[in-house]
A and B are shown apart, each in its own frame.
Chain A
Amino acid sequence: MNNIPSSSRTQTLTFPAQFESLLRIGEFVTRAARSAGLDSTAVYAVEMAVDEACTNIIEHAYGGEGRGEIECTCQMNSHALKVTLRDFGSSFDPSSVPEPNITASLEEREAGGLGLFLMRKLMDEVSFEFTPDSGNVLTMVKRKETIS
């Protein structure tokens, strides 16, 4: 599982869908983001977006830990990193997830619901695809900062 040729520009690893995997998933995407040439702020953004996405998959798609797997693919090219996460849990309608109110007072602030919000804020593209045969596929892209 760890024998990935360093020259490969596409890498895929499959992880058990449990919270304990988040550290290794984070290490995997961080390595890919660095090798794609993203700066440290972008690398941190990718790690966080992927962590939030995987937490959502475990909690919502699978409805708990240890009920399936998460397949994580990193594709690097000269201008971006594309991360694809696939699971075989329940699908959901991203448009049905309410936007968190991040200006609410402490009393009215919801403790949860930040995952999808953070993914969209941290990544340049976030898209979902749900198919009965090939599972739920989440694709996120982080582009390199271009110096203009």
Chain B
Amino acid sequence: MLEVVTNQFKRCDLVKASGRVDSHTAPQLADTFEAINEAGRFKIVFDMSGVEYISSAGLRVMINVQKTCKRWNRGELVLAGVPEHIHGTLDLTGFVPLFKIFDDDAEAVGSF
């Protein structure tokens, strides 16, 4: 099960996911990011503090969103509150250098 909540700030959007991101739920996460991009917004904080599990289906969403956001220097997807075991997955798959990682939402939102 996955719950995704979004919050629009002046300078960026916050996406907070809670639960499991697998091949079943990853499309829900992808739709959320897509809706933000379609509204012409490309500065996004992905708060992962509530994510219990993420498979490569979720990582695929993150890489695609990062590519879309960074195109023409119009924005970026940054991560916040990454749990230790998920950081392990990001490290294993070589994702760490591709994303700025902040301790929490406030710090990540403030980076934009």
Chain A positions within 8 Å of B, measured between CB atoms, are 19-20, 22-23, 26, 40-41, 44, 47-48, 51-52, 55, 58-59, 100, 102-104, 106-107, 109, 111-112, 114-115, 117-118, 121-122
Known: A52-B55, A111-B60. A23 touches B93 (CB 8 A): no
Q: How many A-B residue pairs have CB under 8 A?
A: 68
Interface size on B, residues (CB 8 A): 23
Q: Is B49 an interface residue (CB 8 A)?
A: no
Q: Which residues on A sit within 8 Å (CB–CB) of B59?
A: 114
Q: Which residues on B sit within 8 Å (CB–CB) of A106?
A: 63, 66-67, 70, 98
Minimum-distance CB pairs A-B, first 4: A102-B94, A19-B24, A114-B56, A111-B60
Residues of B1-54 at the interface with A, using a CB-CB cut-off of 8 Å, are 1, 20, 22-24, 53
- Are A48 and B93 neighbours in the complex by a CB distance under 8 Å? no
- In Å, the complex CA distance between A114 and B26 comes to 15
Q: Which residues on A sit within 8 Å (CB–CB) of B93?
A: 100, 102, 114, 117-118
Q: Which residues on A sit within 8 Å (CB–CB) of B24?
A: 19-20, 22-23
Q: Is B92 an interface residue (CB 8 A)?
A: yes
Q: Which residues on B sit within 8 Å (CB–CB) of A19?
A: 22-24
- Considering only CB atoms, which chain B residue lies closest to A122 in the complex? B92
- Are B85 and A55 neighbours in the complex by a CB distance under 8 Å? no
Q: Which residues on A sit within 8 Å (CB–CB) of B20?
A: 23, 26
- In Å, the complex CA distance between A107 and B68 comes to 10
**From A55, A100, A102, contact of B55 by CB (8 A):** A55
Q: Which residues on B sit within 8 Å (CB–CB) of A122?
A: 92
- Are A44 and B56 neighbours in the complex by a CB distance under 8 Å? no
B68 to chain A, nearest CB (A): 11
- Are A48 and B64 neighbours in the complex by a CB distance under 8 Å? no
Q: Which residues on A sit within 8 Å (CB–CB) of B66?
A: 106
Q: Which residues on A sit within 8 Å (CB–CB) of B53?
A: 26, 44, 47-48, 51
